[in-house]
Amino acid sequence: MCSSPMLERDEKRKGVYENPCDYSNGKWVRTKRGPLYNGTTCVKMKKNQNCIANGRPDSGFLYWKWKPSECHLPRFDPNTFLQFISNKHVAFVGDSISRNHLESLLCMLATVTKPNRVRHQGSRRWHFPSHNAILSFYWSPFLVQGIPRKNPGPHYNTVFLDRVNLRWARDMDQMDMIVLSFGHWFNVPSVFYEGDDKVLGCHNHPVTNCTTEIGFYGPIRRALRIALNSIIERKVSKGNGVDVIVRTYSPSHFEGDWDTGGTCAKTNPYGVGQRQLEGENAVIRRIQLEEVENAKVKAKQFRGFRLEVLDVTKLALLRPDGHPGAYMNPFPFANGVNPKKPVQNDCVHWCLPGPIDTWSGIFLEMMKNMARAA
């Protein structure tokens, strides 16, 4: 990825290159500056994440910014981001949080230039004619081959941990940057296979003939390893350069179980010391960091392969106020509150605009650092 003229001018003024900052540690602080877009100026967002338009009464969650402990995180600049992806294809691969992230990014980029929707079998794509740039989303909640559970239908996932999902892997040669993210779909009843008929084990015992409980940490590790190895073997080992970003796990904030009336009604972030990274959130993040380091070692003999981590777990953990909650649907309390019929809450995805916009600010700073290193 080449350094942009804007970045070069920036560095000449500074005279020296800064060391990359650890953006994962910090705190949320108040700001008077609102988001770059809103629910009426951006048509790219899903209605379920358009919280203000759906009647959310508070808007204070929009006026916080992430302040890293070690450095300054600039406000996201759409023009600079578009310069970095000029003549490139950036593919987001993962679950609906990955789509949520891309839609946030599209909303911010659309404030300076409008993309065109492009028809493509297997992905959702947008083309920015001004920069000949493509952004795409590939639905692949396991990264490997799998069949998600359905309602009605099998109440468990069927996941093949020995093969990458060709839905995105078959287009790998078209991709200049791949943003991988996943996790939430593993923590539901699942049967895990190696090969077509060898059952490795299951999670939450979804079927009577699967007696080996293996949890979901091991399968998450294997799935990410297969995905990264596939990129190395199918693309990098052939001399084709690619940048890969692994975005870490985004915690949910259900108070109560998600499927039995759990809610997320907080209206402010957690302050310093109020919430620690622990348990499931910490383990999944650690697995992702470890597998990235393993892949770097495996691919170190190949040129043109850069692998980095977009570490959002800690900053996302501190924002219980940033989810749609009850406002995943329009005006959920228009007819009052019925205690016998709780309103469904979404405490996994993020409001647009909202805290998820910060992820792309860090993403852009990572691109700058990668350009400096090149």
84 contact partners, CB below 8 Å, separation of at least 6? 1, 4, 364, 367, 368, 371
Active-site entry in 190, 349, 357, 360: 349
Question: For residues 368 and 373, what is the distance between their CA atoms, to the nearest angstrom?
Answer: 9
**346 is a catalytic site residue:** yes
DSSP structure string for 186-206:
GSSSEEEEETTTEEEEEES--
Question: For residues 374 and 368, what is the distance between their CA atoms, to the nearest angstrom?
Answer: 10
* Total residues found in the chain within this entry: 374
**131 is a catalytic site residue:** no
CB 48 within 8 A of CB 328: yes
3-class secondary structure, 51: coil
Active-site entry in 243, 311, 321, 346: 346
Provide the CA 73 distance to its chain's centre, in angstroms: 19
Structure tokens at 144: 């490997």
Question: For residues 295 and 50, what is the distance between their CA atoms, to the nearest angstrom?
Answer: 37
Q: What is the dihedral of CA 50, 133, 291, 205, to 10 degrees?
A: 40
Active-site entry in 3, 10, 77, 96: 96
**86 is a catalytic site residue:** no
Active site residues per annotation = 96, 346, 349
